Amino acid sequence: MKLLCLLSAFVFVVVPAAHGQSTVATDVTKAEIEAVYESLGQSIDKQIRVVDIGKDTNVAVGILERSALERQGAVGAIVHHDVTEVYYILEGGGTLVTGGPLENTREFPPDSAAVRELIGPSGGGTFLAGESREVSEGDIVVIPGGVPHGFSRIPDRVKYLSIRIDPDQVLPAGYVSPVLDK
């Protein structure tokens, strides 16, 4: 929990100060994270908030959970063209593959809810190669925009926060999860 507080402080206090624009901090509380998590249902990813931090940059916080997965053969990947993601593993873990070339690529529809609200312009494909790493509770992984990534194995499940740095403000600044906006 201390690491989560430090990460939040960095994203919402240090990053805006570096840009010299924003003069307010935005809180994302544990209660808000859990409320949005409880509303995941069949979805694996929900945005909690999107904050304009100045200098045409947004920072978004999302909560994700993926269930058990054991891929045989090709590993699927997603690549966000501009949005950088910082994963903070809350529970569980698995094998995360990053980098490397893809085959069978496709672009996600620009009008899809995922592109508009969660991840910005993105595509997918299957890895031809990449770097595999084990991730578990407490780990942080920084995935720059343009870097393919995907899980090849999840023994049980993995629950994680995704801090999304959006340098082109393609995500909706001021967005607050409808779960919290009641």
For position 104, which CATH number holds?
2.60.120.10
**Is 173 inside any structural domain?**
no
Query: Token digits for 27?
Result: 């809180």
The rounded distance, in Å, linking the Cα atoms of 51 and 58 is: 5
pLDDT tens column, 95-113 = 999 999 999 999 999 999 9
The rounded distance, in Å, linking the Cα atoms of 97 and 99 is: 7
**End-to-end Cα spacing for the chain:** 27
Lowest mean pLDDT among 13-17, 95-99, 115-119, 176-180: 13-17
Q: How many domains does the chain have?
A: 1
Residue numbers of the domain that contains 28 = 2-166
The closest alpha carbon to 90, from 68, 67, 65, belongs to 65
pLDDT at res. 3:
53
- Contact (Cβ atoms closer than 8 angstroms) between residue 97 and residue 150: yes
How high is the mean pLDDT of the chain? Answer: 90
* Number of residues that this document lists for the chain: 182
**Is 78 inside any structural domain?**
yes
